[in-house]
Structure 1
Amino acid sequence: MKKPNAAETLPAADPAAPHAPAETAPRQTPADILQHYLAEISRFPLLTREEEERLTRAYHETRDPEIARRIVTANLRLVVKIALDFQKFWMQNFLDLVQEGNLGLMQAVKKFDPYKGVKFSYYASFWIKAYILKFLMDNWRLVKIGTTQAQRKLFYNLHKEKDRLQALGFEPVPKLISQRLNVSEQDVIEMDQRMGAWEVSLDAPVRQESDDRHLDFLESGEVPLESRVARAEIDARLKAEMQAFRDILEDKEQVIFEERMLTEEPKTLQELGERFGVSRERVRQIETRIKKKLKAFLEDRIPDIEAYRAGPDAE
């Protein structure tokens, strides 16, 4: 006996019956999706310092994916906070940045060594920023940036250098910035225009005619005291290691190290060459040798030195 299919078992439609209106869910805007995402991640509890240390050590020893999941979910709000700092560079879907930052967070969990004395959130912030920055560099098609080393240097350092000059009492004009960053004045002007074109307020509402802001769904943006202490400890350690490195240099190398690499206003190669009675090329060679020595020295004394460095600041 033939088994009837679904169509044969349903009653025939009455052509005279009125059609019921199709129920369609309202289309969600990117702001609606973001608001929903923020509400979802707020359900995951944050970790205390003791819980963080216990879990990161347990994962380091066992590689248990469930432990990794707990660490990741507890730090999803950190990713959003960091992504907000880059929102002005990506005026499309903000969750694109969050997604890339989440990938960086997972990589941080995988690479983190809890026995190095560094707070996980501080370590993870570098991975999160690195993944977001790479995404921006790869996908910012409307204003092609990062196509040259000079542009990458400006993309990472332009705002910081402007703030630094203003703090010193100087007007951050393109000529002065170009001299300090060793790039062309035209590159400074173009990058400043590009990076300023999409400035938006982080206090903007999540959607039109809404009193809610993105920041209303996050904790305070203030850096926790323990994070500031951890950073201060790292800075103090780096300072001590730099001093130890200086002490092993020869007299001429010490001068070049101090006056070319440790000062806010470095001497020119020509000035130091005249001081020592050698060519500027010879000074450059000595400086290059010092940099190689310093890299090897720090990698030996601080194995995770790359984790301590802010990726955007590296040339």
Structure 2
Amino acid sequence: MSNALALPVNLSTGTFESYLTAVRQMPRLTSEEERELALRFRDHGDLEAARQLVLSNLRFVVHVARGYSGYGLPMPDIIQEGNIGLMKAVKRFDPDVGVRLVSFAVHWIKAEIHEYVIKNWGIVKVATTKAQRKLFFNLRKFKQDVGWLSADEAKAIAKDLDVELSTVYEMEQRLGNRDVSFDLPVDESEEESAVAPNHYLQQHGADPAELLENADWSGHEQDLLTEALSELDERSLDILSSRWLADKKATLHELAERYNVSAERIRQLEQNAMKKLRSAVVLEA
């Protein structure tokens, strides 16, 4: 499926900003269009329909991925992992369930991102020096033979590798943590299911489709406002900036003195400029 769904925009080519621009320009699907495409893919194996489902929801992956910007990992890589999750979700999506694709896909997108973060973030934070990286691999090999370290063994390793004793114990603890499936099957024991990451990494109380809609609309309004501001004449733009955007806002009389007109004329220019901005946003929306 992944080969057939090769995307026209790729994080490995061009710039990251050009990718984001291309994603924002992808048309969104109505619920009826989405259902029709999903049925074509499920019932007839129509890969072009699956491709359109993926492309129309790439912006949602970007929206989810931005929530993981604090881990110190490359955002393009996080988004790429989320895209893989989206494609997996499209493959498993059932249009007869009655939910939008983004509501279903959020689990698969986050699962791929979580796996990437878990695999990459911990070692980045601990093994930041050459000695610590050497400790990671040597300690892993040593523990396979002897299990947990004694106090004397830990001190000897710390001395040999020139690292703090606390670093040895910290690395040992990390190596001792076993992997847990993101979403354990329902037949697993209740104790194991309770610690599955999907119970504590998921976001509660928000519909993914609604979050995407709000975030996308906010960005659209910002673009419209920026474009409308660029079309104002220099004087009107300066008046709005001085009255609304400056840290120390100018009064009508101060601006009247600056442009050698009456305060009433400044007020009229300000109102006209505001009317143009409102009209641009409302009409384009």
The TM-score by the shorter chain falls in which range? 0.3 to 0.5
Q: Which has the higher contact order (CA 8 A, sep 6+)?
A: 1
TM-score by length of 1: 0.38
TM-score by length of 2: 0.42
Higher helix share: 2
